[in-house]
Amino acid sequence: MNRTLAVAAAGMATQQALLDTITANLANVDVPGFRVNRSDFAPFIAADGTAFAPQGQPARRLFGQGRLDFTDNPNDLAIEGAGFFVVRNSRGLCGYTRAGNFTPDASGRLRLPNGATLEGVRLPRASTSFSIDEHGRLFAQVAARRVDVGAGHIKLANFPNPSGLRLDADGIFYPTADSGRAFVGSPGGAVGHIKQRTLERANISVVSAMMAVLGAQRAYEANAKALQAGDEMLRLANNLERS
């Protein structure tokens, strides 16, 4: 009987954890390049066949494609495919991101709002705009020059296991032992294509997230009912002896 209460309470905690993950995902629905987290629970069944509450596992990040929005801003870049932009953060460390909302700074570097700069690219002075070919080569249009100037080469990286990447507070992914070593390639191959004037949104489907919220809420209620029923049975058992 006490196990019933414990299992029902653990079931409520499971649904609570699920809701926490979904709300964290929904809070980031407008962050370009955000990757959704999925809470995972594994069944745990004892040798005698009784099931315990599911075992919580660390949430797993999913790297499916997000929606591509045309923005008409030449500085917005998006990856269609599985790769990552290689960026250098403000501390000089190399990181990886799917966010493509760059802006050129005074020195000609393409910068993300968090201060990280895109590797391999430097726009010349007095450049007005740039274009990217299918292999990731950048050509800048410079005022008073008729021919476009080469401004670098964007390369994309990928990992054997992107779910193993560590997301830091600055919104940039860093490799870990789980993710494996990065392999870097020119756009157009296995690492995806670059699209200019486009932004990739978070890979969240708001509709399915809302459905998951409803499901978690009802499952929470059902577990609460089981807890109540167990409590009620204990109360009745205690009242067997009417004095």
Partner 1 sequence: MDAPDSLSSAAAGMRLQAGRLSLIAQNLANASTPGFHARLEAAGDLENSSHRAVNASRAEGTVRRTDVDTDLALVGSGYFSVAAPEGVRYTRDGRMTRDAAGFLCDSNGYRVLGALGPVRFAPGTSIVADGRVRFAGKIVDRLRLVDPTSARFDGGYALAAPGARLERATARVQQGHLEDSSVDAIAEMSALIAAQRSFEANQKSVQRVDETLKRAANDVARARS
Rounded to 10 deg, the angle between the 206-238 and 2-27 helix axes is 160
Q: Near partner 1 by CB under 8 A, which window of 8-16, 70-78, 104-112, 137-145?
A: 8-16
- Cα→Cα distances 92→87, 118, 119, 171, 194, Å: 9, 12, 11, 15, 24
φ, ψ (nearest 5 deg) of residue 14: -60, -50
- Which 8-state DSSP code applies to residue 76? B
Q: Which of 98, 70, 95 is nearest to 83 (CA)?
A: 98
Residue 167 sits in the site that holds partner 1 (CB under 8 A):
no
Which residue shows structure tokens 């790769």? Answer: 83
List of residues 6+ apart from 114 with CB closer than 8 A: 89, 90, 170, 171, 172
* Out of 29, 149, 213, 226, the residue judged to bind partner 1 by CB under 8 A: 226
**Using an 8 Å Cβ cutoff, are 97 and 166 in contact?**
no
Task: Give the binding range for partner 1 (CB under 8 A) out of 51-59, 105-113, 127-135, 145-153.
Answer: 51-59
By CB under 8 A, residue 48 contacts partner 1: yes
Q: Which of 92, 144, 169, 239 binds partner 1 (CB under 8 A)?
A: 239
Stretch that binds partner 1, among 12-20, 70-78, 95-103, 147-155 (CB under 8 A): 12-20
Touching partner 1, residues 78-137 (CB under 8 A): 82
Q: What residue ranges bind partner 1 (CB under 8 A)?
A: 1, 3-5, 7-8, 10-11, 14-15, 18, 40-55, 57, 60, 62, 64, 82, 158, 160-161, 163-164, 177-181, 190, 215-216, 218-219, 222-223, 225-227, 229-230, 232-233, 236-237, 239-242
